[in-house]
Every structure is written in C-alpha cells, then in structure tokens.
Amino acid sequence: MERTFPHQTCYLCAEKEDQIVGVLPLVYVKSLIFGRFLVSMPFVNYGGIVAENNDVRTKLLDAAIELAGKHRMALELRHAESYELGLTRNQCKVSMILDLPESPDELWTSFRSKLRSQIKKPMKEGFEAHFGSKELLDDFYHVFAVNMRDLGSPVHGKKLFRNILDLFPNRAVICVVYAREVPVASGFLIGFRGRLEIPWASSLRSYNRFAPNMLLYWKTLEYACEHGFRKFDFGRSTPNGGTYRFKAQWGAEPKQLYWDCWAKNQGMTEAGNRISPAMARMVAVWKRLPVGLSKIMGPMVRKNIIA
C-alpha cells in the first residue's frame, strides 16, 4: 500500500507474555470526494482482525476505534467470519468459492455439457493461455485497463501489480489468453494456504463472441488443481448479480463477507458502497475516455476509492 499509492499504514499488535496473540493491519485513505477512512484492507476482499480469542479481538477493536476517532476517520474492517463486534455491518457482498478435486480431469467431468462446450469454443479458434510473471504484466494490464474503461471504472496503476509480483514472487502469477499473439483475456492470481484467488480478471468485449474468458477461467482452475490448491476463490460478487451467476455456473458457492464499520457520523459507515447521481454521471463519462488517457487518470482517482 505504501509503495504503490502511497497510503500511510498502521499495524496494531496484541502481545501476551512476549507472544503475539493478535494483529490488525490498517491503511489510512484520505479523499476530498469520498472522505477519510481507516481500512483493513482497502481494494481487496479480506483483512480485519486476526486474534487468538474474543478478548484479544475486542482489545484490538477498541484500539482501532480510538485511532479512528483521534484522526476523525471512519473505520472499516473486512472480515470473512462473523464476529460480534457491535458495529454497523455491511453484508451486501459474498465470496464465490469452489472446492477443487485432486485432478483437472475430475473437475472437467463435473461440469455440465453446456459449460464444457463454452470452454471448447475458444480452443477451437486456436486461442492459447500462458502463465508467467512480470514478462506478462504489460499484456495483462492492457486487457485489464481496456475492460475497466469499458465498465466506466478507474483502473489501478500497473505499479500495484508489479509490486505484488515483486513482494510475493512465489504466490502471485499472471494468466493471459492470446488470440494469435493478441492478448484478449487476462487474470491475476494469488495463492495462499491451499486457496488460489483471482481478484482481478478481464476480457476484451470485441472478442466476446469467442468466449476467451471461459478459457481463462478453465486454465486457472486447471492450474489450481495441478499445483495442489483445494479451493478456488472467484472473488466477491453481489448475490444474484451477473458476475455471481457467471461464477455459480462453475460450481462455486457463496460465502458471506462481513464488512464491519464504525464512524461518529454513521452516514459514513458504508462509504465503499455509495453510488450517487454524480458518480453515475462520472461512470458514463469515463466509458468514453481514450484508453491511454484512462491509464493516466485512472490510478489518480482509483487510489481514493476503497472498494
């Protein structure tokens, strides 16, 4: 966070008899448009308090609230488990998780025939998927930036992904699908403790008729099985939304996310989920920007949007 944006960070730690029994990483995000927030963690799905027990969790929470109050900031903790913290809770998002078998063949045979035919379509067109690291970064980012522009959303800077690859060389990997050497779909993968997550994935709309995203997801699932992962995390979705249904067709099941929020001004507690008429107009304008300009302006705006 500090290398990329930069946002100031703060790490709370609970100790007992010289042993660490709890941690809470926090990031300061200040924006003239969206307000001031202390978040664990911005831009990703997970964060929050990691503690041995409820007593430790409560002490870390009290320290975080004191810190947020001191700096006149809202506090948002992104938990994957439901803790009774007495805070305002945002439950509008779920993670989509697929339990993986030991081999890709087992997974393939579990798919419906319609799904298998959709995966085969780009294969028949000669599309190919490649895995790598920084040598694929430019191709990944081009597809990602074009797709984000088409969605009307500011794009993260390439620096974020380069820093992740530098700091987690054994956990992060890129997959790019090519149509005769043209990158048409891409995903950024991060693995940890038996789970492989794809927090960022995109495809070019101009190639939608060939369904390159289906090949992208199949190849990442195949990769996950071959490398010993037992769960695949498709990332967060709104229940019954378009991305939710896309992920569900692969067999993924929803797991509720609990984003616990605190602020003296309770109207600030769901800042990451606010959509105003002004923001809707901004989305419409952003969709018409040249891709090159969106790559320049996007990171300057995106660093202040915590969602």
How do residues 62-76 score in pLDDT, each as one tens digit?
A: 999 999 999 999 999
26-35, 45-54, 122-131, 147-156: range with lowest mean pLDDT: 26-35
Q: How confident is the model at residue 284 (pLDDT cuts 50, 70, 90)?
A: confident
pLDDT score of 265 more than 90: no
pTM (two decimals): 0.90
Q: Which residue has the higher pLDDT, 297 or 225?
A: 225
pLDDT score of 270 more than 80: no
CA 232 to chain centroid, in Å, comes to 13
Q: Which residue has the higher pLDDT, 291 or 270?
A: 291
Phi, psi of 101 (to 5 degrees): -80, 180
Q: Which two tokens stand for residue 6?
A: 């930069």
Contact 19, 282 (CB under 8 A): no
Q: How confident is the model at residue 276 (pLDDT cuts 50, 70, 90)?
A: low
pLDDT score of 269 more than 50: no
Q: How confident is the model at residue 160 (pLDDT cuts 50, 70, 90)?
A: very high
Contacts (Cβ under 8 Å, ≥6 apart) of 19: none
- The CA distance from 117 to 109, in Å, is 12
- The CA distance from 175 to 191, in Å, is 13
Contacts (Cβ under 8 Å, ≥6 apart) of 87: 77, 260, 261, 262
pLDDT score of 161 more than 90: yes
What are 119-151's pLDDT values in tens digits? 999 999 999 999 999 999 999 999 999 999 999
Residues of the chain with pLDDT > 90, as a percent, come to: 82
Judged by DSSP in three states, 127 sits in coil
pLDDT score of 118 more than 90: yes
What is the H or E stretch that residue 161 is in?
Answer: helix 158-167
220-229, 242-251, 273-282, 287-296: range with lowest mean pLDDT: 273-282
103-107, 205-209, 281-285: range with lowest mean pLDDT: 281-285
